[in-house]
Amino acid sequence: MCLCFKYDRNESLLIKQIVKDILNKLLSTSSSDIENLVGIDARIQEMKTLLCLASDDVRMVGIWGMGGIGKTTLVRAVYSRISYQFEGCSFLENVAEDLKKKGLIGLQEKLLSHLLEEENLNMKELTSIKARLHSKKVLIVLDNVNDPTILECLIGNQDWFGRGSTIIITTRDKRLLLSHKINLYKVHKFNDDEALEFLARYSLKHELLREDFLELSRVVICYAQGLPLALTVLGSFLFSMSKEEWRDQLDKLKSIPNMKIHEVLKISYDGLDFEEKNIFLDIACFLKGEDKNYVKEILDYCGFFSVSGIRALADKSLISFFHNRIMMHDLIQEMGMEIVRQESHNPGQRSRLWLHKDINDALKKNTVRAKK
Ligand SMILES: Nc1ncnc2c1ncn2[C@@H]1O[C@H](COP(=O)(O)OP(=O)(O)OP(=O)(O)O)[C@@H](O)[C@H]1O
Ligand SMILES: [Mg+2]
């Protein structure tokens, strides 16, 4: 490993920089999380080529594709492979959700704190992003952008950042990227070989005969339509069953019209028991992103067996964990919220209310249903 540093009179700063560079290099060289992903090397390579094609001082690439196709997964992998080359890095995950919670100023403060490695920055005390960053080579990832003002406020003009800076944006909406000078990368679905490789992992846990595995995989691949999220959910669900059980479930899948992705994901929800369904809906409507211990406490208080319930949901890939927080993919959350909405067109009659407007409406009209 070779590291090169400019002479700096401040010894502590120099040591800090050496430690940071070594850590970055170690992190970028091998990560078992990335190695376990399917088809990722080819996709990272395509992204790198696109980044090299950008001739401007600041390179911008937009990754777009439908929900659940793997945009965040890809950009995380690219970030961990290239971040060591930059003087400052920021990965703003799920910007659309953060915007609702923190607003634009909050997002700007977060971005600057990451890039300058300073805590509690206050935008009022700062002249502008440009003033602090124009000579710094930075890497910025804005994940899940859904509003053009985010781009205006966070990355504005290319002269805000130093030469060699790289900005990667992920979005489901291609139109957001067209107004800016951004190269586009469309994430491909898994092809059949990749989907098969992906499913083979689940089958390893079960002693399926090769013919059984191929038969089951063919149907799963057909219904998941190459979408990694659907493959994850269907794979965890079907490969945990006995042969008789998965035959029943396959028949159910076949009856879904037009293979709507929500409906495909709902198969996994339908397979939960009563208590697991309730825990799933509570997390989808209220508790996504919260600390695991806090969620357990609330669920226990509601009379659920939280530990086994949470484990069952994780086993079926309906939730995951990140830094001890409970995560749920947006599409799976939307599916859960839709299940609650479908209970009644009258919000007061539904089992859960999470929008101010609906709560207000139900209380005003006094239509809130009593818990049975
Ligand atoms: N190359 C891959 N190999 C293995 N699993 C993958 C791969 N790409 C995506 N996945 C899995 O698919 C699921 C969805 O991926 P991801 O969250 O990246 O989608 P997305 O495009 O960012 O969706 P959204 O638009 O809703 O944010 C995740 O569970 C992820 O682990
Ligand atoms: Mg995403």
Please check whether the domain covering 274-341 is classified as CATH 1.10.10. yes
Strands 320-322, 325-327: pairing kind: antiparallel
Q: Ligand 1 atom closest to Cα of 172? A: 25
Q: Which residues surround ligand 2, an ion (CB under 5 A)?
A: 72, 144
Q: Ligand 1 atom closest to Cα of 76? A: 18
**b/e map 219-255, b = 16+ CB within 10 Å:** bbbebbebbbbbbbbbbbbbbeeeeeebeebbeebee
Q: How far is the CA of 213 from the centre of ligand 1 (A)?
A: 23
**Both structure tokens of 158:** 């290319």
pLDDT tens for the chain, 372 residues long, are 445 555 555 777 778 777 777 766 665 555 667 778 999 999 999 998 888 877 678 888 999 988 889 999 999 999 988 988 898 999 999 898 888 888 888 888 888 889 888 777 776 655 667 777 888 899 999 999 988 888 888 887 777 888 889 999 999 888 888 777 788 899 998 999 999 888 887 766 666 667 777 887 888 888 788 889 988 888 888 877 777 787 787 777 766 655 567 777 888 898 889 999 999 999 999 999 999 999 999 999 999 999 999 998 998 889 999 889 999 988 889 889 999 999 998 888 999 999 998 999 888 887 776 555
Q: Quick one: which of 169, 235, 144 has its CA closest to 198?
A: 235
Q: What is the pLDDT of residues 320-333, one digit of tens each?
A: 998 899 999 888 89
- Residue 210 region by backbone torsions, left for phi larger than 0, else alpha for psi between -120 and 50, else beta: alpha
Is residue 344 within 8 Å of 350, Cβ to Cβ?
yes
Q: Using CA atoms, how far apart are residues 346 and 53, in angstroms rounded to an integer?
A: 53
List the chain domain ranges: 11-186, 192-257, 274-341
> Does the CB atom of residue 37 touch ligand 1 within 6 A?
yes
DSSP 49: H
> Does the CB atom of residue 330 touch ligand 1 within 6 A?
yes
Q: How far is the CA of 4 from the centre of ligand 2 (A)?
A: 35
Q: Quick one: which of 104, 265, 87, 261 has its CA closest to 165?
A: 87
**At 87, which amino acid appears?**
E
When the candidates are 3.30.2420, 2.40.30, 3.40.50, 3.40.190, the CATH number that belongs to 11-186 is 3.40.50
> Does the CB atom of residue 331 touch ligand 1 within 6 A?
yes
Record the pTM: 0.79
- What's the mean pLDDT when you consider all of the chain? 83
Q: What is the pLDDT of residues 121-160, one digit of tens each?
A: 776 655 667 777 888 899 999 999 988 888 888 887 777 8
Residue 345 C-beta-side C-alpha neighbours within 13 Å: 0
> Does the CB atom of residue 67 touch ligand 1 within 6 A?
yes
> Does the CB atom of residue 235 touch ligand 1 within 6 A?
no
Q: How far is the CA of 226 from the centre of ligand 1 (A)?
A: 11
CB neighbours of 47 closer than 8 A, spacing ≥ 6? 61, 63, 74, 78, 168, 185
